[in-house]
Amino acid sequence: MKPLKLYDQWKTSQNPKTLTPLIQSLSPTIKKSLSSHGFDQDPNMRTAAMLHLSKGLPRYDPEKSSLNTWATNELKRMPRIGHKQRHAIPMPERAAIDLKSINTVEKELQYRLGREPTAMELADESGLSTRRIGSIRARFGVPTMTEGMTENAEGIEASLASGNSNREQLVMELIYGESSPLDQQIMDFTFGWHGQPKLKKTEIARRLKRSPANITQRASVLAQKIDDLDLGTLA
């Protein structure tokens, strides 16, 4: 299926399940762009390119250019991303202000939603990135919420160079972005993301007020999605 048709499906339905096929349909453009910048042999950068395009899609205007032209222009930023991830430095000087904002917004969302907000919901409401929220929580929040969080405040761009495990994390970030709030919470507690504690499935079920069987089932579906994300199409 052509990229523009996939884009129309995604734009019309806003169904997260249509996002990955759309991004994968741009594989030839991604491969060509990365090759022109000398990144064609770097699987981490290929995955980062997919994630970058998935986050940039709301900026795409079909009236101004084709989807492939837009993707090519977006991927001109890859050299900058590659440079930043090698020189990223944590910047915690606003940590106290950001932590206060996170805590305030979290309480407001808990009251409004009737449940714990996801990291993405906190990010949308506070204006901070999910990586910044995780970093602040890990370093300055409640100690029990620091487990499993190692990224710095520069975000996902800062984690590309250190190997295949980070590539897998980028893949999971792509799946995370297209998942429901409940599934995002399951991933947060399963992997210890965004400053949340790593919990067993029974503890996740109790925390989210779901049955252990439901959590196990949803976690299995998420794991299958990660396995099914065919990065080989970008090779």
Query: Quick one: pLDDT at residue 230?
Result: 45
Burial 10-44 (b: 16+ CB within 10 A, else e): beeeeeeebbbebbbbbbebbbebbeebebbebeb
The CATH class that applies to domain 3-87 reads mainly alpha
**d(C-alpha 199, C-alpha 215), whole Å:** 12
Between the alpha carbon of residue 55 and those of residues 91, 102, 175, 176, the distances in Å are 23, 22, 12, 12
- What sign does the CA torsion over 102, 104, 109, 115 have? positive
C-beta separation of 20 from 174 below 8 A: yes
User: What residues does each domain of the chain span?
Assistant: 3-87, 95-233
Which residues have CB under 8 Å from 194's CB, separation 6+? 119, 130, 133, 134, 137, 149, 188
Helices H, strands E: what count in the chain? 13, 0
One-letter amino acid for residue 123 of the chain: A
Query: Quick one: pLDDT at residue 163?
Result: 38
Query: Quick one: pLDDT at residue 161?
Result: 35
pLDDT tens over the chain, length 235 residues? 677 888 888 888 776 677 778 888 888 998 888 888 787 777 777 878 888 888 888 888 988 999 999 999 988 887 776 665 554 444 455 677 787 788 888 888 888 888 888 888 888 888 888 888 887 777 765 432 223 323 322 332 333 333 344 556 667 777 887 788 889 899 889 888 877 888 888 999 998 999 999 998 988 888 777 766 644 433 4
**d(C-alpha 26, C-alpha 6), whole Å:** 10
Quote the pTM value: 0.47
Query: Quick one: pLDDT at residue 145?
Result: 25
